[in-house]
Amino acid sequence: MTAPPNQGSVKANSVSRILFASKILKPLNELKNEKDSFVKKIPVPNMEIGVIAGLRDGKVRVEESHLEGEKAHLTVDSRHSFIMNRKDVKDAIYRFIKNGKFK
């Protein structure tokens, strides 16, 4: 998973308070960090999961990216958008798929 709001996002909470933001950004309410939000109700799949978070993400805090039972967690010096396009992230994903570890 790359930059996932597994625990919801404080940023989603604040942006959703802006007039019409939830109408324009449809999934915004589902991504809030409130206990009854959709993202908090999704069951964790029974498989090995690795999570990569951006230190300067701006949308999802590192602590919001963690997932119960995650096998590995990696932080990279990145913002949210295009984190998946970084060579170091692609290499880490490959290593996780091959060895079950990011490093």
pLDDT in tens, 7-16: 999 999 999 9
Please state the rounded mean pLDDT for residues 73-83.
97
CB 66 within 8 A of CB 54: no
Residue owning tokens 């942006």:
15
CA distances from 37 to 15, 33, 42, 63, 76 (A): 15, 7, 9, 17, 27
What was the pLDDT predicted at 41?
A: 94
Mean pLDDT of the region 59-68: 97
In angstroms and rounded to an integer, the radius of gyration of the C-alpha atoms of the chain is: 14
Q: What is the mean pLDDT of residues 5-25?
A: 93
* Interval 59-69 mean pLDDT: 97
What is the pLDDT, as a whole number, of residue 76?
Answer: 98
Place of tokens 């940023």: 11
pLDDT-above-90 percentage for the chain = 91
List the beta bridge partners of residue 9. 32
pLDDT > 90? residue 22: no
